[in-house]
Structure 1
């Protein structure tokens, strides 16, 4: 990647978006934004209660992330965002067309185990099934890469950088 892109680190809960995002940003030399910080309080309350968000809950959150990404166009940045559905990624690309996605993916048992050990996060493991049911993998026409989440955070971030570097540059 020779030009500074905005990278969305996506995937179901527990894949390490909040851990890998800052590592990736540091390796790319760009700022990081935590996608959860863009959620309105009502969304956090809903998820904390074990209630999955609906699309109407997500639109303002996605718009806020899109606004941040748009402001980083040409400068680069990394933001975490589950971006589970194609329609969510399309909405983000409407605000910032040159987004590149890093889909953190892995074995459900590994992800559930990691979720069960994290402290102070509002997303309970009970919502993992709804996350996997909602997930629509990146399509061939979406700029992005899939990165396996097995291994250490440093190994995962290194794989993400290698995969991003191998992406063809977009044609103007």
Structure 2
């Protein structure tokens, strides 16, 4: 199984995903690390990415999932995956891709972004991401977590979901 922790910048997806991957000793990918320098430069300058910027990046992430699927390894990834079409690309990497959507109000996310240090995504792009975001559809496998919870609580809920999905896939 492959678990993608998704949401806008500042939602806590990386913090929770890293905890889950470490706890379960699963390979972890931070999708931001896969961005080419051109994408990082655009975002650092406050310019939203276009779909044309995203497609090669998403394909590389799907390839990462596929490579681990071939090895028989489950994975954890932190990736914005804001639109269904982006999630479709990730799902093409392997069967069994599930999403954990870290969501919250603009105010809560804004506070989190402003408190962060050393991240290339400026707070000004939050509005663009929120406008782009498409929540999980009823036919998409996944879980939504309200980011108002603390990191321990969110991690516990995510771990429970991952464990349950993994158990169900073995039946």
How big is each residue's C-alpha offset from its partner over 1:64-112, in whole Å with a ceiling of 9 and x where there is no partner?
A: 1111111122311101110000000011111223211110111211110
RMSD over aligned CA atoms reads 1.7
Q: Distance in 1 between matches of 2:73 and 2:162?
A: 16
Q: Distance in 2 between matches of 1:109 and 1:28?
A: 32
* 4+ residue runs over 3 A deviation: 164-172
For normalisation by structure 2, the TM-score amounts to 0.91
- Identify the structure with the greater helix proportion: 2
- Please point out which of 32, 44, 47 is paired with 2:28: 32
The corresponding residue for 1:169 is 168
Q: Does 1:51 align with 2:82?
A: no
Stretches of structure 1 that go unaligned for 5 or more consecutive residues are none
Stretches of structure 2 that go unaligned for 5 or more consecutive residues are none
Q: Distance in 2 between matches of 1:126 and 1:89?
A: 24
- The number of residues matched between the two structures is 168
3-state DSSP of counterpart to 2:102 = strand
The corresponding residue for 2:148 is 150
For normalisation by structure 1, the TM-score amounts to 0.91
Stretch moving more, 77-86 or 94-103: 94-103
Q: Does 1:117 align with 2:115?
A: yes
Q: Distance in 2 between matches of 1:166 and 1:75?
A: 17
